[in-house]
Amino acid sequence: MHPAAQQAKLAAALKLITDEADPIQVRVKMAYVWGYIDALADAGLLSQAEADRLQKAAEQRRDKRLADLGADPLLTS
């Protein structure tokens, strides 16, 4: 995949988290993004360090979005 296209797809995937209006769907999108980043790393398209950085950024987006929606970032039962 061309690096510019890969970056655009990663940005679009991360935006899914930010754009979601339902806390459950924020978590679903987070799982999707996490898996997408893992798949890119497994395919050798991202270094493990870059994958870790992107996953950390996704977690920060998730936590901020959940806080904005008034939901607890940590699910507790």
Please check whether residue 77 lies inside any domain of the structure.
no
Please check whether residue 53 lies inside any domain of the structure.
yes
Please check whether residue 75 lies inside any domain of the structure.
no
Q: So what's the pLDDT on residue 72?
A: 83
pTM: 0.84
Q: So what's the pLDDT on residue 53?
A: 96
Nearest to 6 by CA among 53, 48, 39, 52: 39
Q: So what's the pLDDT on residue 76?
A: 56
Q: Domain limits at 36?
A: 3-68
17-75 pLDDT, tens digit per residue, is 999 999 999 999 999 999 999 999 999 999 999 999 999 999 999 999 999 999 887 76
